[in-house]
A and B are shown apart, each in its own frame.
Chain A
């Protein structure tokens, strides 16, 4: 228990160091004087910019050796002092606060939707392995896995907004706007989880304890719900850990596509505009989101499967 929490903490530290180091290098590789850029970002371009830049240089210690500057950079990162955006000039933390909420909502609703779709299909496929539902599920999973999220998103947009006119293609505010991006991610996630669920249900359905539950006369619903589901859920939950990657990457893509104002969208914008403090802040937050999801999945797996707790 403590071991894996420590490992996740280590991962979070690595995320900070990788993101910090890349952005530190990026800040110094870009053409132009870093102090001048920061001054321009903070105070806007005016006549006394050179003077302001000199002040910034002294304040941030940009004249000191690189190694000291790098440690300082990491230090401020750990204190969550993310600096100011080079484009808007406002503190990065401010902008991230709003966007993080939007992204978390999107990711959570996508996960919830996928759990409504994937495991249910998987359950029915697995109970009658080789049957019609199983084959349909297999074909569906293969097709949905081969469609990149942005193509899937565009298709949903074309069908539900352009042809049918049911849902708005972009924007933010009400659940209606969130439905299409969340559905895009959910279908991709469900394509994977439905097959994992199917395999584990099929394995459970063959197990002796499952047959015994039937022989002793339990009704079918109790057999499936009590003896089947919990055992079958373990691989699905631990597989969700692998899906954390898909979810975080998907959030970046889908947000940009649907103009949904989350951190993924902000990251892509910052990359295009080369707004390094924003790149660093958004990348750090998305990386940490990835670690948090993975940790939650670890905890859930332990709760479902006490055997893991004993071996860990």
Chain B
């Protein structure tokens, strides 16, 4: 769950490298499919048609149909939207408190910082997926604990990076100079701190989203995440697996979609330096 490479976070590369362009390209294609697809495709992802069970690709159904005769194209589009949307939401709910707490801890220090450090240490004591699993025991198959568990584990990374970087910036002489010249905290924050941490936060956000996508699909695949009629990419793979002999491509399509989403995000985050 934490695939973040600390080496690449410490010195983010702001150039538009080839890897990053490639990542952005993949993401905009998959993202477009996820956001525009469900609108353009009239088929209901839950509508069953048993006469079209496991329909081949390119027939009445553009990408075929699954074992219940549900349009695979519609299911893939809705699944991609679900993964992408959930990942975006998780990332935001981890990044916003993470960055805010990081700024507060660096600014205030003292007991505030100690308290936040302790909270972060407690969260990091367990691997992220374990915490999510423990929360999922409260209500298996629900969005709530899944979402809460993921944000709870992901905010720490934002907090730590923001705090460490802000602290080093605030200790530098040009900040002291700005203070002596009479500039307020807000001015310093906007003009000196934010420009430095913004690219790091962007990198972390892409990583966090990739992590969330992997976690959501994995948990559904091992049947503790979102439950089957939901068009979730991970559970689609597992549902279609028994029919691999008849329709191998059907199984691989959702897997390919997850792979492209994660690859796009990871390439965007780290460019040419993994």
B-binding residues in A (CB < 8 A): 11, 14-15, 17-19, 22-23, 26, 29, 138, 141-143, 145-151, 154-155, 158, 162, 192, 195-196, 199, 242, 244-246, 248-249, 252-253, 256-257, 267-268, 270-272, 274, 276, 279, 283, 286-287, 290-291
Contacts and interface: CB of A to CB of B under 8 A. Distances in A.
Given A145-B266, A155-B255, A272-B140, A150 B222 contact: yes
A249 B210 CA distance: 16
A22 B127 contact: no
B57 interface: no
B234 A18 contact: no
A286 B130 contact: yes
A2 B193 CA distance: 37
Contacts of B224: 268, 271-272
Contacts of B185: none
Which label, helix, strand, loop or mixed, suits the secondary structure of the A interface?
helix
B1 A146 contact: no
Interface of B: 1-3, 5-7, 19, 121-122, 125-131, 133-138, 140, 210, 214, 217-218, 221-224, 234, 237, 241, 244-245, 248, 251, 255, 258-259, 262-263, 266-267, 274
Nearest to A199: B7
Contacts of B140: 271-272, 274
Contacts of A148: 214, 217-218, 234, 258, 262
Contacts of A245: 1-2, 127-128
Contact of A287 (B19, B127, B218, B263): B127
B120 to A, nearest CB: 11
A151 B255 contact: yes
Given A29-B138, A271-B133, A283-B134, A149 B218 contact: yes
A26 B2 CA distance: 26
B259 A274 contact: no
B130 A14 contact: no
Given A19-B134, A274-B137, A276-B137, A141 B262 contact: no
A249 B237 contact: no
A195 B5 CA distance: 11
Nearest to A250: B129
B25 to A, nearest CB: 14
Contact of B263 (A146, A199, A256, A267): A146
Contacts of B223: 268, 272
8 closest Cβ contacts across the A-B interface? A146-B263, A14-B125, A249-B129, A256-B222, A146-B262, A148-B214, A271-B137, A245-B127
Contacts of B218: 148-150, 253
B136 A249 contact: no
Contacts of B129: 248-249, 252-253
